[in-house]
Structure 1
């Protein structure tokens, strides 16, 4: 299943099943909202005409209680920033207030002199989980996958000595356009991520190159904390991160998930 979330003038927030038609993603029929967002989203009993996603006012298709990110999970990215490869997954949090919809404007804070893009594959949790066992089937706990841009104020990240402020500004976590369980990077079918800045390829990596694979990440994380439905786990970024300027357009593409596109502007 693939789904999106969009804002309808008549019905408010709507979740819809997504299908591909002639190489384009379409919202084809409404679906029930995930449990973590049922209070805010419309029911399925609405009038609905199939439409291409590009014609909709898309919203971030997740409503997480937490965004739990993985740092330096590609060797080439750790090397390009002069860092050693971590011996265990490096965890940090972005606040849910950093979420941004596809097509939204990423606001570059005046406090920072260098804002970077970081294209990533995101895991969306489907069931509450804690202390996942070494032989436990993880598939029931994964709702699907999405695209994430882990936007970073690189200078603040370095000067602070920890990452909360540099990665936590409002609009610093664009997500979407869809969530899908029709790809299986945790089950041996890696996907390729490509990031384009103003049309030029800057990043190209495969989830087969993750230092800590998805199954390892989920088991490691759940030894420390409970994951709730809707929680989002960006899995790390490949090499090729870099700074942006006002007006720059960023496009992150993952096979089966479409393209997450946003523009940078000053706050």
Structure 2
């Protein structure tokens, strides 16, 4: 099932279920009553995807990020592979949806893309779950882009500012509740030029390990997001670029502009 958050032609913000196969031009979205967690109540109100504005599929209380979770990316950054997951946070205010603008701050002269698989936590949340029970905490999978001000990351010595600017966490375009996560293509293209192209099978710490590890540090609430690290090939983005992150059959596209 594909779960999205969108604005109807009448201007109402709501969650919905996307239906369709094959050519996306024929896909539709049906509004649901309330939140997508739990039993879904379809309303019967349906629109073409072309007639609605897609938003980030969830507004998490927090985005938990995993650094250096692909060996080749750690190597390209001149870092060692961590012995346990390396965690940092992005604020909820950094989250934007498909089509929204990535805004480059004047404080940075070197901003980069990082394509990532994102895990959305389900209705029961997660606290001190075992690796074996981690799948039960997953609501679904989506795509994310861990935008990073690389110069600030180096100069600050910690990552809060470099990773936390408004618009620095595109998520979407929807949540796939059925996607397998263990061997999924993950890629990033800038102006149609592919820069990152790998698979989640190359993660150092897999998804169940990450969920268990994070949940022993902090309680994961329903709708929280874990972004699971980026493969090699990260690179700069500048105003005028268009960035597309691919995770399986999910495509998350955002234009890049200078912040005013």
TM-score normalised by structure 1 residue count: 0.90
Deviation by residue 1:16-41 (Cα, 9 ceiling, x = unmatched): 111333331733322234378xxxxx
1:168-213 Cα deviation digits (max 9, x unpaired): 000000110010121111xxx4110121110011001111000000
Aligned-partner SS, 2:75: helix
Distance 1:134 1:58 in 2: 33
Tell me, yes or no, if the aligned pair for 1:77 and 1:238 is still in contact at 8 Å: yes
Contact 1:138–1:215 (8 Å) recurs in 2: yes
Distance in 1, Cα, partners of 2:16 & 2:107: 38
**Contact 2:66 2:86 (8 Å CA) reproduced:** yes
Tell me the residue number matched to 2:31.
30
Q: 1:133 to 1:111 in 2, by over 3 A?
A: same
Say which of 119, 128, 140 aligns to 2:125. 128
> Whole-Å Cα distance in 2 between the matches of residues 30 and 4 of structure 1?
9
Which residue of structure 1 aligns with residue 5 of structure 2?
5
Bigger CA drift: 95-104 or 20-29? 20-29
What is the CA-CA distance between 1:12 and the residue it aligns to? 1.5
List runs of 5+ in structure 2 lacking aligned partners. Answer: none
Give, in whole Å, the separation in 2 of the partners of 1:28 and 1:159: 45
CA distance in structure 1 between the aligned counterparts of 2:213 and 2:20, rounded to whole angstroms:
35
Distance in 1 (alpha carbons) for counterparts of 2:235 and 2:178: 31
Structure 2 CA distance for partners of 1:32 and 1:142, relative to 1, 3 Å: farther
**Helix, strand or coil for the counterpart of 1:49?**
strand
Distance in 2 between residues matched to 1:209 and 1:34, nearest whole Å:
34
Q: Does structure 1 residue 51 correspond to structure 2 residue 17? A: no
- Of residues 247, 251, 255, the one that matches 2:248 is 255
**Does structure 2 retain, via aligned residues, the 8 Å contact 1:16–1:27?**
no
Q: CA RMSD in A?
A: 1.7
| Aligned twin of 1:39 | none
TM-score, normalization by structure 2? 0.92
Q: What is the deviation of 1:134?
A: 4.3
Q: Is the 2:15–2:36 contact (alpha carbons within 8 Å) kept by the matching residues of 1? A: no
Correspondence 1:202 to 2:191: no
Distance change in 2, residues 1:244/1:142 (3 Å): same
Q: Does the CA-based 8 Å contact 1:115-1:244 persist in structure 2?
A: yes
Q: Mark the runs of 5 or more structure 1 residues left unpaired by the alignment.
A: 37-42
Against the structure 1 CA distance between its residues 197 and 55, is the aligned structure 2 distance closer, same or farther, given a 3 Å change threshold? farther
How many residue pairs match? The answer is 254
1:171 aligns with 2:163: no
